[in-house]
Amino acid sequence: MTGGGWEAQMTDAPATRDAPWPVALLSGKLKQYIDRLGTVWVEGEITQWGVSGGNVYGKLKDLDAEATLSFQVWSSVRARFDEQFKQGDRVIALVKPNWWVKGGSLSMQVFELKHVGLGDLLERLERLRTQLAAEGLFDAARKRRLPFLPGVVGLITGKDSDAEKDVLRNARLRWPAVEFRVVHAAVQGERTVAEVVAAIERLDADPQVEVIVVARGGGDFQNLLGFSDERVVRAAAAATTPIVSAIGHEADRPLLDEVADLRASTPTDAAKRVVPDVNEELVRVEQARARLGMRLQTILSREIDRIGHLRSRPALAETAWIVDRRAEDLTRWVARGAELVERTIDRQTHRIAELRGHLRALSPQATLDRGYAIVQGADGHVVRGPNDAPDGAELTVTLAEGALAAVSRGAVPSVHDAAPRPGSGSSRAVDDGE
């Protein structure tokens, strides 16, 4: 298809595989569609502002999302502006989308451009502050104590910035051995939020970093807005490492100050807060040592006096009486012990004599000593009657002194049976028998 440009090619016929649209036709339809949008007011941040031949070519970035549009300001329109603009400014613009058919690109033609009012920014900032405070991100109970002497200090700041030099110089003047882990990040402009968030996460993940300082020098309100961005604030709140905010000067209060564990008025003040002064600490050590020496001397003096007082008492002034008294007690106890032992021995000796007498009285030997004898049969059994020793039985007769062998001659009358009758002479026969 030739001649007539893209307008001559316009058709309502749908594009198909067999009848595709020419590129010019599609590009023309895009232009028609976009032109119907007309002019619109948009808000964003200027991230690029370049002047060429009196015309301005720049980029406008969304304040929250990752979205950017190119824009153009013709010199005739720019001449009507009563304000000066630069990169980093927040603005509202009346733009008309313009599709360039030949190049296939979209740009925004700016007809009006104004700074966002400070009141609007403050209102949005206050709404965000209220929201985050309601979530508890600013509560004092969340804030952590800084380590007394951190081994490694993380520092987030602009490369070769005055803030970086101030922090490093003042910290090393106070404690020369302090070690820093520096991460450079953009501190204004469109890259600020993403780079600061990444730096916080990086240092927070480093186990050697014990405290993180976010530092930036002074600047106008808009240049510091990146440190009030919700993403930066939430990244600081989520960090497990204590964070020190040192943004701007004393009067500057970005939202990062509210969520940080410590707010420093300036980068120099941050350096003084994160590390102690070695000279001051040496003075404190000497003072503590002096106080400890004085306290120890006081305790020793008091104890010496107390011991002297105890030694001056009569009980301790002359100590020989303790030995003498104990010697007397020992002599008395020894005598008492000897007396008790002798008494016990006498009593037991008497008791043994009594038992010996009882034993002798009950002993068979005593009976034998009185003239009795014990007759035993051949089997060793004691003969208790005539029936136990028939005639001719062998017997053993045990006397008081020794034993005799005997033979039984049968039963004989008992002494009682042979007793003489009155008036008879039988008593002599008995005597003969004995």
> What are the residue boundaries of the structural domains of the chain, listed by start?
5-116, 122-276, 369-433
pLDDT, residue 413, reads 67
> Smallest Cα–Cα separation from 4: which of 19, 21, 18, 24?
24
Residue with tokens 């198909």: 16
pLDDT, residue 294, reads 95
User: What gap in Å lies between CA 40 and CA 93, rounded to an integer?
Assistant: 8
What is the distance, to the nearest Å, from the Cα of residue 369 to the centroid of all Cα atoms in its chain?
A: 98
3.30.1490.20, 3.40.50.300, 2.40.50.140, 2.30.30.240: which CATH number matches 5-116?
2.40.50.140
pLDDT, residue 344, reads 94
Residue 240 has pLDDT above 90, yes or no: yes
> Smallest Cα–Cα separation from 175: which of 157, 149, 147?
149
Average pLDDT over residues 64-77: 87
pLDDT, residue 424, reads 41
Give yes or no for a contact between 264 and 164, defined as CB atoms under 8 angstroms apart: no
pLDDT tens digits for 374-392? 888 888 888 888 888 888 8
pLDDT, residue 429, reads 34
Higher pLDDT, 180 or 372: 180
- Going by pLDDT thresholds of 50, 70 and 90, the confidence category of residue 425 is very low
Give yes or no for a contact between 97 and 108, defined as CB atoms under 8 angstroms apart: yes
pLDDT, residue 5, reads 60
Choose from 45-54, 213-222, 332-341, 360-369 the range with maximum mean pLDDT: 332-341
402: left (phi over 0), alpha (psi -120 to 50) or beta: left
pLDDT tens digits for 145-187? 999 999 899 999 999 888 999 999 999 999 998 999 999 999 8
pLDDT, residue 285, reads 92
> Smallest Cα–Cα separation from 256: which of 220, 215, 204?
215
Average pLDDT over residues 311-339: 83
User: What gap in Å lies between CA 25 and CA 22, rounded to an integer?
Assistant: 5
User: What gap in Å lies between CA 219 and CA 158, rounded to an integer?
Assistant: 13
pLDDT tens digits for 89-145? 788 889 999 888 888 888 889 998 887 766 666 777 888 888 999 999 999 999 999
Q: In sequence order, what DSSP letters do the residues of 133-155 get, joined into one string?
A: HHTTTT-GGG--PPPSS-SEEEE
pLDDT, residue 313, reads 77
Mean pLDDT of the chain: 84
Q: In sequence order, what DSSP letters do the residues of 237-256 get, joined into one string?
A: HH-SS-EEEEESSTT---HH
**SS3 (DSSP) at 434:** coil
- Going by pLDDT thresholds of 50, 70 and 90, the confidence category of residue 8 is low
Phi and psi torsions of 359, nearest 5°: -65, -40
- Going by pLDDT thresholds of 50, 70 and 90, the confidence category of residue 2 is very low
Secondary element (H or E) of residue 292: helix 278-311
Q: In sequence order, what DSSP letters do the residues of 398-415 get, joined into one string?
A: E-SSSEEEEE-------T
Residue 1 has pLDDT above 70, yes or no: no
User: What gap in Å lies between CA 424 and CA 222, rounded to an integer?
Assistant: 170
3.30.43.10, 3.40.50.300, 2.170.150.20, 3.40.50.261: which CATH number matches 122-276?
3.40.50.261
Phi and psi torsions of 407, nearest 5°: -125, 135
Percent of the chain at pLDDT > 90 equals: 38
Residue 414 has pLDDT above 80, yes or no: no
Residue 23 has pLDDT above 90, yes or no: no
Residue 335 has pLDDT above 90, yes or no: yes
pLDDT, residue 118, reads 61
